[in-house]
Chains A and B, each alone.
Chain A
Amino acid sequence: MVNTKVNLCGIELDNPVIPASGTFGFGYEFAELYDINCLGTFSFKGTTKDSRFGNPTPRIAECDSGMINAVGLQNPGVEKVISEELPRLAKCFSKPVMANVSGFSLEEYAYTCEKLDKEEQVGWLEVNISCPNVHGGGMSFGTSPAAAAEVTRAVKAVTTKPVIIKLSPNVTDIVAIAKACEEAGADGVSLINTLLGMRIDLKTGKPVIANKMGGFSGAAIKPVGIRMVYQVSQAVNIPVIGMGGVSTAEDVIEYIMAGATAVEVGAANLVDPYASKTIVENLPAVMDKYGIKNLNDIKGCAHNG
């Protein structure tokens, strides 16, 4: 028998598999297909203070082994998330959920986090300072250590639950930003958000996506994610959630070997709605294949030599 349990900031997960924000909605589309309680948890759709429609369409472009999205944080706003989405979610998901939060000012981040922190269903707050698809917010907080620390402090000051800061790979030194978050009181960091990318339609000579640029995700970005998790997890003493191109149980193990405590699955959910479930189901056999009895035994093993 292998042990797939991991501990994420004081909460035990049955397994380290977490569908990533923006690829799993508020869970119901998937709960219609399978019992989503098989997951470690999931990170719900990025929530802001006010309701947002997001960017104009087209918002999606296909790439080799990946995709670009520029959805732009479409969500019903924190009040409706609490009054409508969470009660609906409670009917199909009994585990603590990860609340993903975005904002356009320190006050907005703090406001939204404070509200969600009070919800019993919420286990962790994942604070997105790395969305590449909104102007004047999102990623602008995630590209300097000082700004990242400011958001972390603002959120920590008004919350009691573990705060995980979601980091952008679109920076010169992700390690410095992760360390700044840790020093400011973050309980964990998750990385990587999408890489800023672009496609051009040869027939029109214009960008495929209305917003011109968007976040590149999918299998193609996995080596970048692995590298950054490897670097960050050696530099900080808080848990790191690894993500970027995860689509198999092998990928989960690779991220944990790089130093991740848990792993998020993103674009793969959009290609195969059963992807996260399949990863959970395949994980024990893959652990067995590599002689892994407990995921904690291999965490960060790549750091040694």
Chain B
Amino acid sequence: MNRGKYLINGNKPLTKDVWEMTLEGDTSHITAPGQFINIQLDGFYLRRPISICDYDEKTITIIYKVVGHGTEAMAKLLPGEYLDVLCGLGNGFDVSKCSETAVLIGGGVGVPPMFNLCKKLLSEGKDVSVILGFNTKDEIFYEDEFKALGAKVYVSTVDGSYGTKGFVTDVLKDLEYDYFYTCGPMPMFRAIEKIAATSGQYSFEERMGCGFGACMGCSCKTKYGYKRICRDGPVLEREEIIW
């Protein structure tokens, strides 16, 4: 982890309430896809933990949904401003666990961390399918970006306005894969847990205090002992999770 000032290069809406922000700064502490950053905002006491969607040597892309006062303030930030950021937090996804064919399942704002993971897996020659789950057509983002990476992309919408009508599991049940990675809401996790055919990794969300393992604010019980979502997670292996 490092703390630094990051320059906002871009901040734009992708849908009605989902925004994409690009930041320029030190990315050398990012060690795996699925890690997150923790952003300090003027006027707010605690930082905002946001998953890393993509990164390279000097830029980070994050995607966030405007759900409260903090994210409302983020949406008002302009390119050229600087943010105080803790970078490279959490364990991230372990790509070595997938042997050949991976399926990546993102639900809503659980989609972003799948993007760099998809890139990594493809670069290692893995066969990657991506399932993106949304409520309705207007909420869809990053479908084309995933396609451009070369992944097989499936979209599900609850109301059937685009792609497969229903849930990500309505796509997942017909796919062949030897490992899965997922991030999204708990009801989606529970549905995946019921039908998933292989081992996999789930990325969890929790209200955090510090984001780097000091306060014990985001602890959970696992079969391998107590873990901090911010430090020992956010990614947990299917085998260790207590549902």
Contacts and interface: CB of A to CB of B under 8 A. Distances in A.
Given A30-B214, A74-B216, A67 B3 contact: no
B206 A69 contact: no
Nearest to A65: B45
B153 to A, nearest CB: 32
Contacts of B46: 60, 62, 67, 270-271
Nearest to B211: A270
Interface centre among B46, B206, B216 (most CB of A within 10 A): B216
A253 interface: no
B62 interface: no
A273 B207 contact: no
Interface residues of A, number: 35
B209 interface: yes
B213 A60 contact: no
A153 to B, nearest CB: 31
B226 interface: yes
B212 interface: yes
A67 B207 CA distance: 12
B215 interface: yes
Contact of A74 (B40, B86, B226): B226
B45 A25 contact: no
A60 B45 contact: no
A274 B3 contact: yes
B49 to A, nearest CB: 11
Interface of B is mostly: loop
Contact of B213 (A25, A63, A67, A272): A25
Given A60-B208, A60-B209, A22 B3 contact: no
B2 to A, nearest CB: 8
B215 A69 contact: yes
Given A62-B45, A67-B45, A273-B86, A57 B220 contact: yes
A173 B239 CA distance: 52
Interface in A258-291: 267, 269-274
A32 interface: yes
Interface residues of B, number: 25
B1 A33 contact: yes
Given A53-B226, A57-B206, A63 B214 contact: no
A60 to B, nearest CB: 4
A22 B214 CA distance: 7
Contacts of A53: 219, 221, 226
Interface string B144-165: 0000000000000000000000
Interface in B170-225: 206-210, 212-221
Interface in B229-243: 231
A59 B218 contact: yes
A96 B76 CA distance: 47
B65 interface: no
B207 A59 contact: yes
Contacts of B217: 57, 59-60, 69, 71
Contacts of B44: 62
Contacts of A59: 207, 209, 216-219
Interface centre among B44, B86, B214 (most CB of A within 10 A): B214
A273 B214 contact: yes
A63 B45 contact: yes
B214 A60 contact: no
Interface in A53-89: 53-54, 57-67, 69, 71, 74
Contacts of A58: 206-207
B231 A29 contact: yes
A23 B215 contact: yes
A124 interface: no
A268 B86 CA distance: 15
Contact of A54 (B1, B40, B206, B216): B216
B26 to A, nearest CB: 14
Given A53-B221, A267-B45, A273-B212, 10 more contacts: A23-B210, A23-B215, A25-B214, A29-B213, A29-B231, A30-B214, A66-B45, A69-B215, A269-B210, A273-B3
13 contacts: A22-B216, A29-B212, A53-B219, A59-B207, A62-B44, A62-B45, A71-B219, A74-B226, A208-B207, A218-B45, A269-B214, A270-B215, A272-B40
